[in-house]
Structure 1
Amino acid sequence: MKKLCFVLLLMISGLIISGCQSDSSGEGNSSDGEVEFEFWAAPNPTQEAFWEDMAQQYMEEEDGVSIKVTPMPESPSSEAGIQSAIAAGNAPAISENISRGFAAQLAASSAIVPFDEFDGYDNLIQERQMEETMSSWTFADDQQFVLPVYSNPMLFAWRTDILAELGFEEAPRTYDEVLKAGEKLKAEYPEKFLWSRADLVKPTWHARWFDFFMLYNAASDGNNFVEDNKLVADNEAAVKTFKFFSQMAEGDMLLTREATDPFESGDSIMMDIGPWTFSYWDEKFPEMVEGETYELTMPPVPSEEGTENPKTFADTKGLSIYASATKEQQQAAFDFVNWVFSNPENDLKWFEKTNLPPARDDLATNDAFTDFLGENPELKKYADNIPNAVPPIASEKTAEVQELIGTEGLNPVVKGEKEAQQAWEDVRSAIDGVLK
C-alpha cells in the first residue's frame, strides 16, 4: 500500500511539473507548439463573417496556428470596450475597427505595437498597392500603428434632377457655384434647403468628420491639422471653410433640425454620403438612380483652381496588434494579415460582403475589381478617390480637438453668433491649450 501511494505521488508531481512547464512556455501556445490568438472583428455581422472565413481558410493552409474570431464589445463603444479589455489584461492579439486618432491614443500608452517593425511589412504595402494611401497614415517617428482595412472617401450627393429644374446642367464644384444654386433654390422653393444636417449645431466630436473636415481637407489640399501633438492647420483654408458655412447659414440654406430622409424626399439637394447608403436606397428608395436623380462629387472648393483633384475626409478604420500579446502571437497575427492582404481576391470578397472600399490605391484600376465595380457603378467614384482621402488626425486628443472645432467654431458660426475669422482664432487658441 505504501508503495502504491508513493507511485501515485510521483505521478501527480509529474503532472504538476508538466503543467507548470506548459504555462511558462508562453500564453497562447498549446502543448503541441500551436500558436493560438484571438482576433476581434468589428461589431458588424458582415465584417465578422469575412474574418471568420479568412481565418478558417488560413488555418486549413497553415499548420500550427489557431485563430479565434469574435466580435469586439461595443458598450458603450468599441473604443471603450478595447480600453477596458486592455486595463483588465484581456485584450486580443489583434483587432480591427481602429481609427487613426484612437490608434494614436493607444500608441501613446504603448498598448499597441508598430506594424513597420515586422519583417515583411514593406512587401505587404507594395503587394496590396497602398503606398499612396499609407503616406497620410504615418505617425510620429515614421512609425505605423494601424493598417487600414477600408477607406471611404466621403463624397457629396446632389439632386441633379432638382438642379436641372433650376437651370443647372451639372453639380456645383466651387463655393460660388454652391451658393448660386442655393440662392436659386430658395427663390424657387423657399421651403427647401441646400443641405440638411442637424449635427452642424451639435458639439458631437465625430460629427466634424462629415462636415468641417470634408470641406477643410478640400480647401487645404489635404493639409495636416495636428502633427506631432501640435496644431499645424492651414489658417487660410480653415477661415474659408468657416466663411462658407456662414454664407450658407445666412442664406437660410441649412436645415439644422432633425429631419427624416430630407435628401431622398427632395427637401434638400446636397448630402454628405458614404457607400453604406446605397443598400438603404435599394430597399427604400429605388428611384434614387445615379445619373438620373443624383450625382456624386468630391467636396466643393473655394475656387476653380482646386477643382482638378480635390481632397476629402476618409472614413476609414484598420487593424492594430496589441502589446499585451506574446511575441509569438503578434507575429502570428501579422502573418495572418499579410496572407489576407497579399491576395486581391480577398479584398474583393471584403468589398462584396461589406460595400466598404478596400484601402488600395489601385482599387479603380485592378482587374480583380472591374466586374464588381461595373455591377455597382455608384461605388466607382469611391474607388477612384481613395488616394485623395485624408484619414482622421493622429492625436490622442482627437475627441477634445474636434469637440472644440464644434463648440468654438462651427456651431456658433452656423448659428450666426461668430464671424469666421473670430471663430477660427477661438478654435486655434482652445486647441493649443488642449495640446500643451
Structure 2
Amino acid sequence: MKRKTMALVLSSLMLVMAALTGCSSSNKDSSESAGGSDKQVTLNVWGMGEEAKSLPKIAEDFEKENPNIKIKVQALPWDTAHDKLLTAVASKQGPDVLQLGTTWVPEFGSAKALMDIAPMLDQYPELKPDNFYPGSINTTKFDGATIGVPWYVDTRVLYYRTDILQSVGYNEAPKTWDELKDAATKLKARGGDKYGISLDTKEQSLAFMFARQNGSKLLDGNKPLFNEAPFVEAVDYLNGFFKEELAPIDLGMDIIPAFRDDAITPMFISGPWMVKIINDQAPELEGKWATAVLPKKENNISALGGSNLTVFQYTKHKDEAMKFLAYMSKPETQLKWMELTNSLPAAKEAWNSDVLKNNKNYKVFGDQMEHSEPMPMIKPYEALSQKFLSTFEQIYRANANVQDEMNKYNKEAEDILNNK
C-alpha cells in the first residue's frame, strides 16, 4: 500500500514538473503540425510604449511567411518596462525577443541577460552590420559581444522657421556655432518677448552632444574629461544663450505654440517625432519651416538614440528569434513600421525609398545619421547625465562659474565611474 501511495506521489510530481517546464520563458508550444514533423513555436515578444501596440500588425505578415511560428506581443509602458525586465533577468524567465532602448544596453548587457548573436549573423544576411549606420551598430555592442540589432533610430537636428530666419538675413539654416549664435542674436533683436532659440535644459544629451562637436571625447576609459577645455567651452557656449537671453529658461508654454505663434522661439533642436507633431498641430506653417543638420564646430556630431531588438539569453527558440530579427530588419518591413509608428528605419537601404528621399525634412535625418553617435555605452551613463543636469542648472540659473562647476562635476563623475 505504501509503495502504491509513493508511486502515485512520484507520478503526481512528474506531472507537476512537466507542467512547470511547459511554462518556460518562451511558453513553448510543442504540438505537432498535421504533417507530424514541424513543431508550432510561440515567440513571446516584448515591445515598449504606445508604438508596440502596432507590432501585431507586423507580426501577422511574419506569421504568413513563417506559418510554424506564432508571435505573441506584450506591449509594456516605458515607465514600468525597466523593472519588469529586471524581474525577468532575475528569474531567467522572460520573453524570447525584446525591444531595448539604446541607453539600456550596457545595464542588461552587463547582467548577461542578452544573447550574443554574432555567431549566427552569417546565417541571416539582413543582420549584417554593413546594412546599418555605424552609430547604430555601436549601440548593439557590449563587452565584445553583439547583443542586438538596430530596429529604429532617432537623432537630433535643427528645426527652424524659414520665413523668420529669412527676415534676419539667413536664407539657409546656420551652419556653424558662430552662425547659430549670430542668428539667435538677430532673432532676439526683433524685440518684445521673442527669443532666438529654445534649448531643452532637461535633455540629457544636449551638452554632451555639443562637447563632442568641440572635440571632447567625454571619457578616456574610466577617466572623465568633463573639466577639460573642450567640454568646458561647450558648456560655456550653451550657457551664453541663457546668459544673453537668447533662449528662455522658463518659457511657460509648449514648443509648438512657441514655434508657431509669433515665432517666439523660431529655432529648436529635437528628434524626428516633431515632424508629424508640427504637421498635425500647426498645419498653417506648411512651407514656413524646415529641418537642417546641426551647425558644426570641429564637427556636427548629433546624439543617436532609438531602440534595438535583442534575444533573451534564456530563450528556448534561438533560431526562430533570429528569424524574427531578420524579418524586422528588412528595409521593406522597416518602412512599413515607419508608416505605422513614424519611427525612422535603422536599415540604410530603407533611406533610398521615395517616401524618405522625397520628404525634405525626413531626408535631413538620414544626412544627420551619417554624423551621429550614441551616448557613452556604459552602465552608469544615466547617473552621469542626471548629475550633469543638476550641475548645469547651477550655471544657467544661479550664474555659477562654469569651470568651478565642471571641476566639481568631474570629481563626482569619477566617484560614479568608480562606484564610490
Paired position in structure 2 for 1:124: 126
Match of 1:316 among 306, 310, 328: 306
Specify the alignment match of 1:270 in structure 2. Answer: 267
Please give the residue correspondences for 1:52-67 in structure 2 after superposition, counting only pairs within 5 Å.
52-67=56-71
- 1:350 matches 2:337: yes
Aligned partner (choices 284, 295, 299) of residue 290 of structure 2: 295
Shift of 1:38: 0.8
Q: CA RMSD in A?
A: 3.1
Whole-angstrom CA distance in 2 between matches of 1:380 and 1:174? 20
Cα distance in 2 between the residues matched to 1:129 and 1:430: 39
2:354 counterpart of 1:381: no
Which residue, out of 237, 241, 249, partners 1:244? Answer: 237
Q: Which of 175, 178, 186 is equivalent to 2:177?
A: 175
1:42 counterpart residue number: 48
Instruction: Report the Cα distance in structure 1 between the residues aligned to 2:226 and 2:161, rounded to whole angstroms.
Output: 32
Percent identity reads 18
List aligned pairs for 1:30-429, cutoff 5 A.
Answer: 30-32=29-31, 33-44=39-50, 46-49=51-54, 51-74=55-78, 76-87=79-90, 90-96=93-99, 98-120=100-122, 123-126=125-128, 129-130=131-132, 132-137=134-139, 139-197=141-199, 199-200=200-201, 207-209=203-205, 211-220=206-215, 225-226=218-219, 229-231=222-224, 235-257=228-250, 258-260=252-254, 261-265=257-261, 266-289=263-286, 292-302=287-297, 306=299, 310-323=300-313, 325-326=314-315, 328-341=316-329, 343-364=330-351, 366=352, 369-370=353-354, 372-374=355-357, 376-408=359-391, 410-429=392-411
Q: What code does the residue aligned with 2:323 have?
A: D
> In structure 2, how many angstroms separate the alpha carbons of the residues matched to 1:86 and 1:347?
28
Q: 1:293 deviation in Å?
A: 1.8
Greater CA deviation, 18-27 or 102-111? 18-27
Question: Structure 2 CA distance, aligned partners of 1:15 and 1:61?
Answer: 40
3-state SS of 2:348 partner: coil
* SS of alignment partner, residue 333 of structure 2: helix
Q: What residue ranges of structure 1 are gaps of 5+ in the alignment? A: 1-5
TM-superposed CA distance for 1:120, in Å, is 3.4
Q: CA deviation at 1:108?
A: 1.6
**1:169 match: secondary structure:** coil
Q: CA deviation at 1:151?
A: 1.2
Give TM-score, length-normalised by structure 2.
Answer: 0.84
Distance 1:357 1:248, change over 3 A: same
Structure 1 contact 85–91 (Cα < 8 Å) conserved: yes
**How far 1:295 sits from its partner (Å)?**
2.7
Deviation at 1:26, TM superposition (A): 8.4
What is the deviation of 1:334? 1.7
After superposition, give the CA deviation of every residue in 1:265-303 in whole Å (9 maximum; x if it has no partner). 2101211122212222222211223xx42231222233x
1:428 shift after superposition = 1.8
Higher relative contact order (CA 8 A, sep 6+): 1
Distance 1:399 1:121 in 2: 35
The aligned length equals 401
More moved, 159-168 vs 415-424: 415-424
Aligned to 1:3: none
TM-score w.r.t. length of structure 1: 0.81
Following TM superposition, by how much is the alpha carbon of 1:39 offset from its aligned partner in structure 2, in angstroms? 0.2
Q: 1:115 to 1:131 in 2, by over 3 A?
A: farther
With over 3 angstroms needed to count, the CA separation of the structure-2 counterparts of 1:283 and 1:101, relative to structure 1, is closer
Q: What CA distance in whole angstroms lies between the structure 2 residues aligned with 1:85 and 1:25?
A: 17
Deviations along 1:201-234, one digit per CA (max 9) or x if unpaired, are: xxx5xx212x2233234333xx653576553679
Structure 2 unaligned segments of length 5 or more: list them.
32-38
